[in-house]
Structure 1
């Protein structure tokens, strides 16, 4: 093997994209060129290099990962995804405090690569993103984690629950008591509905807030100064929604259901 594996796989964007594409199965040259938007002269030298180093094999007119190549891609793919996440929104990620996130979720930040940062202007600082409102209105299942009180979320979740939407929430005890105090009878109705489950987390939650609706994900984190600056990350990717559901499950296991 003429070059190191890391150099071979990571130092060329074309090779990286080719390997990620081929992880789903064999492809011919025409499919590769179309999917990666490359020319024959641009991709054939990369294919040859990967074949020469036993990362790819050719069977008839199709190229696929070798057994060794498949192992390499499976191990390095999380790094590709993480790099993509950080490079897409560097100002956001390098200004966030992620120290409270459990390690398994830090390691899977690559799942959040296909996300958009929402930075509200001064006139809408306390308003939830319109994208969240739109998705909540058409969702049948909503889960959320929140460590702070937001009057919109409380009011809207109560309205959704009364319409029959299945809602599962994890609060700190302070947030729960604030909702119970401020919303009185509405809160009692909300907490008593069969389609609503509320869980109290006694310790510090790893995020400011996280919401997953049907096909939608929202995340809020403190910045490195320990301040909530209202910047939010949103996504409609399956991987981001999966990350959110797994984080909810993690916090759920450390919470007590409010009866």
Structure 2
């Protein structure tokens, strides 16, 4: 081989995109050019280089990853995804404190690459993002984690539960007690509904808040000063939603179901 595998795979955006595209199966040149928005002149030299180094093989008029290429892509793909996540929203990620996230979720931050940062203005600092409200209104199942009391969230959760939406919620004990104190009889009715499951987390939660609704994901972290600045990350990608559901299930392991 004339170049190292890392250099071969990572130094060229065209090669990287090509390998990620081919991980799902063989493709001909026409499909490659259309999917990656490249010309023959732009992509054929990259294909030749990958073929010469045993990463790609050609069968008739189609190109596919070799066995070795498949191994390389599967190992490097999480790095590609993580890099894309950090490069898309660098100011957000490098200002967040994610130290409380379990390592398996840090390693999967690449799943949140197709996300948008929501920075509320001073006049709507304490309001939930409109994108969240819009998705909650049409969702049939909602999971949420919250380590702080927010009357807007409680209000919307209660309204959704009354409409029959299935809800699984994790609160810290302090948040749970605040809801009971502030909402009284309404909280008892809310917590007693058949379509609502409430879990009380034993310790500190790894995020400030997280919501997964049908096809929607929201998460917020403290910043590195330990302050909640109300910046949120939202996404409608399947990978982000699954990341959120998995984090919920993880937090359930250290939570007690309220009966």
Common fold: TM-score over 0.5 = yes
Q: Measure, in 1, the Cα distance between the counterparts of 2:97 and 2:148.
A: 17
Give structure 2 stretches of 5+ with no counterpart: none
TM alignment of 1:108-257, pairs within 5 A: 108-257=108-257
Give structure 1 stretches of 5+ with no counterpart: none
Q: Deviations over 1:107-158 (max 9, x none)?
A: 0000000000000000000000000000000000000000000000111101
Q: Measure, in 2, the Cα distance between the counterparts of 1:188 and 1:19.
A: 54
Instruction: Give the aligned length.
Output: 259
Deviation at 1:215, TM superposition (A): 0.2
- Give the corresponding residue for 1:25: 25
Instruction: Tell me the C-alpha RMSD between the 2 structures.
Output: 0.3
Q: Measure, in 1, the Cα distance between the counterparts of 2:186 and 2:160.
A: 12
- Give the corresponding residue for 2:53: 53
Q: Measure, in 1, the Cα distance between the counterparts of 2:49 and 2:235.
A: 36
Q: Measure, in 2, the Cα distance between the counterparts of 1:17 and 1:243.
A: 23
Q: TM-score, normalised by structure 2?
A: 1.00
- Give the corresponding residue for 1:93: 93
Deviation at 1:185, TM superposition (A): 1.1
- SS of the residue 1:218 aligns to: strand
Q: Measure, in 2, the Cα distance between the counterparts of 1:154 and 1:247.
A: 21
Alignment partner of 1:71 is 2:61: no
Q: TM-score, normalised by structure 1?
A: 1.00
Deviation at 1:78, TM superposition (A): 0.1
Q: Measure, in 2, the Cα distance between the counterparts of 1:181 and 1:206.
A: 25
- SS of the residue 1:226 aligns to: coil
- SS of the residue 2:159 aligns to: helix
Large movers: runs of 4+ above 3 Å: none
